[in-house]
Amino acid sequence: CPSASPRHERRQALATLAASESPPMRRVLSSAPAAEMIGAAVAEKAAVRALSARAVSTAAAVATEEGGGISMKTKVPGPVGLRLMEQHGPQGASGGAISLFCDYRASDGCYLVDADGNRMLDMFSQIASLPLGYNHPSLLAAQADPLLATYSTSRCAIGLMPPMELPELLDETFLKIAPAGLSRVQTMLCGSSANENVFKAAMFAYRAKQRAKAGRGPTDFTRDELESCMVNQSPGCANDLSILSFRGGFHGRTMAALTCTHSKPVHKLDAPAFDWPTADFPALQYPLEHHAAENAAEEARCVDGARAIFEARLAEGRPVVGLIIEPILSEGGDLHASPSFFASLQRLCGEFDAAFIVDEVQTGVMASGHMWAHQAWGLPEAPDFVVFSKKALLGGYYFKEAFQPPQGYRIFNTWMGDMTKLLLFRAVLEAAEREGLQARAVSTGAALMRTLEAARERRPRCWGLHCRLARQQPDA
């Protein structure tokens, strides 16, 4: 690629910052939040030049250490990639957003190889879903487990006829890393399906409480309920209940999850949505230490706005029965808030008998230095639900006993997860423990903050542009 090409200049700058740091730092810089942050910083030519200068003395060492480093042979996409796009177009084009075809057999670590043999530093990690990069030895070794072959060739309906190894595998994976106070877990297929079923579970629990007040059991349905639900009407369908979400949030693309998504119009255009409320998320000013009063006022405004929604909906006889929030609104623009803001939302949920749902699809599994980013908030008790996917390799959620489904087939689909992914996730956790990856996330996050704080001293006006990265450590 010509050195004057804006695409090449941007890619080189992104690679340079990673190349100039230690291996742990390179892992942090290959994460999706870091990629978004650095991508904004290098939009300015001054940042590009500063980062590029640091690569001159380190590129050779990095290339040796990482098995070849960056190697560009063609434009991206190149001739092979363009031919594959032309071939795939009439097949449906996988939705139409493909940017390049990849050679995953040739990819390794944090380097992605495309169909034309270009080897690139991957700052995207398959939409932040690769916990160990490409072709990690631990995951390759897990392929030798005979159970993996069994689960692959005879995929089971976990919700109906699970394999005998399921309880043990859950103990060794998701329950091993469960947030304090949450001892139940439900696997699903992806983050969207997990959120959809969380919303259902929250509504089932709320309806059960309403029936209890009327002296009925949780599944003592009236004839009117049984008949009206079949034509999508109340009282059988809970059309009067809703989930509160926040501007800038992203929770998936299926119908209810999409209703709670407010990050980009392209996700929502021409799709129907439920009549569910949306609250403001704080727009903090940076550096945080220079705007403490303004940010506290902004967070208080947003909490008051959420309270007003709870009160108005309750007065209208259509209560909010759940609130869903991300620790970092990643897809919506890297938006952050203080631990006290999230604690205030949890208190609101308690006051209005609504489920407090934390969506950790983006932030879960050590990305923040904690196993779960909400652990940095210091909440007095666990959320009612914690949703996971991406780096967990399959979707699902933790939940409190109060939200156990009242009968079978209420939370259900054919697969209810994927046993092969449980085996692979066990290998991920073993590798993370063996290699100390969670501690590395903490130390490299601190190193990254020191680098950005030093950059702020040199270029104060750039701080708000490329350092809206709030440290997710307990003392942050």
Collapse the DSSP code of 325 into the 3-class scheme (helix H, G, I; strand E, B; otherwise coil) and give the result.
Answer: strand
Query: Among residues 279, 274, 241, 234, which one has the least CA distance to residue 257?
Result: 274
Pairing between β-strand 395-399 and β-strand 355-359 as defined by DSSP bridges: unpaired
Structure tokens at 191: 């983050």
Q: pLDDT at position 24, please?
A: 40
Please, where are the H alpha helices in 6-132? 6-19, 23-29, 32-41, 45-55, 59-65, 79-88, 125-128
- How high is the pLDDT of residue 49? 35
Report CA-CA distances (Å) from 73 to 2, 44, 52, 66. Answer: 11, 26, 20, 18
Q: How many other C-beta atoms can be found within 10 angstroms of the C-beta atom of residue 104?
A: 11
Contact 245/324 with Cβ under 8 angstroms? yes
Q: Would you state the structure tokens that stand for residue 23, as one six-digit string? A: 């291996």
**Bond before 287 cis per omega within 30 degrees:** yes
Q: Which long-range contacts (CB under 8 A, 24 or more apart) does 103-109 make?
A: 104/134, 104/135, 105/135, 107/134, 107/135, 108/67, 108/133, 108/134, 108/135, 109/66, 109/67, 109/133, 109/134, 109/135, 109/136
Find all residues with CB under 8 Å of 50, minimum gap 6, and list them. none
Q: What is the pTM of this model?
A: 0.83
Asked if 264 and 258 count as a contact pair (C-beta separation under 8 A), the reply is no
Report mean pLDDT in 10-residue bins for the chain, 476 residues. 42 48 44 45 39 34 55 96 96 94 96 97 93 96 95 97 98 98 97 98 98 96 98 97 97 96 95 97 93 98 98 98 96 92 98 98 95 97 98 97 96 97 98 96 93 84 49 38
Instruction: Please name the residue ranges forming H helices in 329-473.
Output: 339-351, 419-435, 437-458, 463-466
Angle between the N-to-C axes of helices 146-153 and 419-435, in degrees from 0 to 180, rounded to the nearest 10: 150
Strand order in 385-388's β-sheet?
184-188, 395-399, 385-388, 355-359, 320-325, 242-246, 278-279
The Cα–Cα gap between 448 and 476 comes to 14
- CA 313 remoteness from chain centre: 29
What are residue 112's DSSP bridge partners? 120
Spatial neighbors of 93 by CB under 8 A, at least 6 apart, are 85
Q: What does the alpha-carbon distance between residue 2 and residue 9 come to, in Å, rounded to a whole number?
A: 9
Which residue numbers are catalytic? 250, 359, 390, 414
CA–chain centroid gap for 375, Å, is 15
Q: State the DSSP string of 420-454.
A: HHHHHHHHHHHHHHHHTHHHHHHHHHHHHHHHHHH
Alpha helix (H) residue ranges in 104-249: 125-128, 137-142, 146-153, 166-172, 191-213, 223-228
374, 383 contact by CB (below 8 A): yes
pLDDT digit string, tens, across residues 210-260: 999 999 999 999 999 999 999 999 999 999 999 999 999 999 999 999 999
Count CB-CB contacts under 10 A for residue 462: 18
Contacts 24+ apart (CB under 8 A), 228-232: none
Helix axes 6-19, 45-55, angle to 10 degrees: 50
